[in-house]
Chains A and B, each alone.
Chain A
Amino acid sequence: MRKVLVLNLADNIAICLEDMPAHTVVDQDNLKLTTTQQIPRGHKVASKPVKKGEGIIKYGERMGHATKDISVGEHVHTHNVLGDRLSTEAN
């Protein structure tokens, strides 16, 4: 049983396939990480470090950018991600 789903090798996030408490260890398919906080099933966990302003890559495509530095194992969601289009339009 896999704990996370990697949609594309270029991605810097993986999808949690179960509710993960903090400090859950994932070790599968050449991916090793430890969650830094609780992450619900279906949500994203950082599989690579992402600097503020860099793209969040899912399906190998840019789905938005980081609004702060994100380290491996962190929950990646609306608290640290913004869509590129919407934020452009808001300015």
Chain B
Amino acid sequence: MSLTGYKRADGRWGFRNHVLILPLHQMLSAAARDVEKDSKGAVAVSHDWSQVVEKDHQRIIHSLAGNATNPNIYATIFLRLGTPAEDEVINLAKSYGKTKLIEVSLSEAKSIDRLRQMAIDRANTLLTEAKSEQRVAAPFSAMVLGLECGGSDAYSGITANPALGVASDELVAQGGTSILGETMEILGAEHLLAKRAITAAVGQQIIDVVARYEASINYEGIDIRGAQPSRGNIEGGLSTLEEKSLGAAKKAGNAQFTGVLEYAIAPSKAGLYFMDTPGHDIEQLTGFGAANVNITVFTTGRGTPTGSAVMPTIKVATNTEMATAIPDIIDLNSGTIADGTQTLEENGELIYKLIMDVANGQLTKAELGGHHEFNLSRLYGSTL
């Protein structure tokens, strides 16, 4: 199976060639969306950051700078006011690689109308450049795959998740990178995942990340371990917390864990990683987008249209009923495993092939539907 992509000047690989419009203050979010609408194909995100000093400052700076320099981005146009906080994001983005970074500042444009027009003109020039770039043959190490699940059901752990694990294992064996997130979801199985770590130190990091999460939850007075699996889980056939968490973690197959990543921080070499992310679907996508992930596979039991501005997001259904009901959202059905008509390995192969097809340019349902959600993740309240 051959892979093609856009080779970046810094050695990374993209499978899309986007021009991203990234506002650096919430008051410029509407302008960013206008630029997307009136340009010839730029993508915009919007968010609620207003540059106030908060405990999550570094988390937010890394999320913005990382997404601005995702390898699927040809160029990012920052819409800015002209403040020092914005310089922090832009300087961090510059340190991440050689993505083209353009600044359009309200302090120079003087009016929102003028800012919008300047950004549209720059975007259209960059889009013309981007379209003239050719795909070239890419190695499997070009691939940084994000593994996500949302709206899980009783079949997630026996169909789509382990089938995705088959694809992830194959990718990692070929020299690619795969990132599993959602700390809450591995709670209870962390000791099993730690045994699969490449070194004892990495294993301990997996244990520590979950302990850190659990301490923060206990601080809030919630005993999540004692309440799991839930009554609904038990009715669905799950007997223990380990079983439930293994079902989520099986998106990462059986490969060894090379390392543990903080939220929104990119891996430094190939292999399978665990990233400490929230369970929130879109916040997880933002964290992946900031960490060089260039394709995400998202398994879902109930069906969700969520997509990302910077990464193609492949939706894999856990059951045939839902896949049949909402074909405009679902890219691939793993419900066939529960129907008894396909094996895990057969379905996992289809997921692997689809990942390659999407990398080579096939559009996902989320891309066709224009879904590019973006949320900043906060651990603390937004004001001090």
Which residues of chain A have C-beta atoms less than 8 A from B189's C-beta? 61
Known: A59-B162, A63-B246, A83-B188. A5 touches B338 (CB 8 A): yes
Which residues of chain B have C-beta atoms less than 8 A from A3's C-beta? 340
Q: Is the CB of B242 within 8 A of A40?
A: no
Chain A 1-23 near chain B by CB (<8 Å), digits 1 or 0:
11101010000000101100000
Q: Is the CB of B240 within 8 A of A15?
A: no
Expressed in whole angstroms, the minimum distance between the Cβ of B22 and any Cβ of chain A is: 40
A67 CA / B219 CA spacing, docked (Å):
33
Q: Is the CB of B337 within 8 A of A5?
A: yes
> Does A42 lie at the interface of the complex (its beta carbon under 8 Å from any beta carbon of B)?
yes
Expressed in whole angstroms, the minimum distance between the Cβ of A11 and any Cβ of chain B is: 11
A44 CA / B247 CA spacing, docked (Å):
14
A16 CA / B236 CA spacing, docked (Å):
11
User: How many inter-chain residue pairs (CB < 8 Å) link A and B?
Assistant: 80
Q: Is the CB of A64 within 8 A of B254?
A: no
Task: Specify the chain A residue showing the minimal Cβ separation from B155.
Answer: A42
> Does A48 lie at the interface of the complex (its beta carbon under 8 Å from any beta carbon of B)?
no
Interface residues of A in 48-66 (CB under 8 A from B): 56, 58-64
Q: Is the CB of A64 within 8 A of B239?
A: yes
Expressed in whole angstroms, the minimum distance between the Cβ of B154 and any Cβ of chain A is: 5
Q: Is the CB of B240 within 8 A of A81?
A: yes
Q: Is the CB of A43 within 8 A of B340?
A: no
Which residues of chain B have C-beta atoms less than 8 A from A83's C-beta? 188, 239-243
Among A17, A18, A62, point to the contact of B242 (Cβ < 8 A): A62
A15 CA / B238 CA spacing, docked (Å):
11
Which residues of chain B have C-beta atoms less than 8 A from A59's C-beta? 162, 246, 250
Which residues of chain B have C-beta atoms less than 8 A from A62's C-beta? 192, 242
Among A7, A76, A85, point to the contact of B191 (Cβ < 8 A): A85
Among B158, B162, B192, B226, point to the contact of A42 (Cβ < 8 A): B158
Task: Specify the chain A residue showing the minimal Cβ separation from B240.
Answer: A83
Chain B 335-359 near chain A by CB (<8 Å), digits 1 or 0:
0011111001000000000000000
Among A2, A5, A64, point to the contact of B243 (Cβ < 8 A): A64
Chain B 309-345 near chain A by CB (<8 Å), digits 1 or 0:
0000000000000000000000000000111110010
Q: Is the CB of A78 within 8 A of B239?
A: yes
- The total of chain A residues at the interface (CB under 8 A) is 30
Known: A42-B154, A62-B192, A83-B188. A17 touches B338 (CB 8 A): yes
Which residues of chain B have C-beta atoms less than 8 A from A15's C-beta? 158, 237
Residue of A5, A62, A85 ringed by the most chain B CB atoms within 10 A: A85
> Does B215 lie at the interface of the complex (its beta carbon under 8 Å from any beta carbon of A)?
no
> Does B225 lie at the interface of the complex (its beta carbon under 8 Å from any beta carbon of A)?
yes
Chain B 229-273 near chain A by CB (<8 Å), digits 1 or 0:
000001011011111001000100010000000000000000000
Task: Specify the chain B residue showing the minimal Cβ separation from A42.
Answer: B237
Residue of B191, B240, B339 ringed by the most chain A CB atoms within 10 A: B240
Q: Is the CB of A1 within 8 A of B239?
A: no
Q: Is the CB of A7 within 8 A of B158?
A: yes
Q: Is the CB of B155 within 8 A of A86?
A: no
Expressed in whole angstroms, the minimum distance between the Cβ of B211 and any Cβ of chain A is: 13
> Does A72 lie at the interface of the complex (its beta carbon under 8 Å from any beta carbon of B)?
no
Chain B 137-169 near chain A by CB (<8 Å), digits 1 or 0:
000000000000000001100100010000000
A70 CA / B191 CA spacing, docked (Å):
25
Among B234, B242, B338, point to the contact of A63 (Cβ < 8 A): B242
Q: Is the CB of A5 within 8 A of B158?
A: yes
Task: Specify the chain B residue showing the minimal Cβ separation from A18.
Answer: B340
> Does A33 lie at the interface of the complex (its beta carbon under 8 Å from any beta carbon of B)?
no
Query: Beyond the given A17-B338, A42-B154, could you list 5 further A-B residue pairs with CB under 8 A, ordered by the A residue number?
Result: A40-B237, A63-B240, A84-B240, A85-B188, A89-B225
A-B contact pairs, 18 of them (CB 8 A): A5-B340, A5-B344, A18-B340, A43-B237, A44-B237, A59-B162, A59-B250, A61-B242, A62-B242, A63-B239, A77-B234, A78-B239, A83-B241, A84-B242, A85-B191, A85-B242, A86-B226, A89-B225
Binding site for A on B (CB under 8 A): 154-155, 158, 162, 188-189, 191-192, 225-226, 234, 236-237, 239-243, 246, 250, 254, 337-341, 344
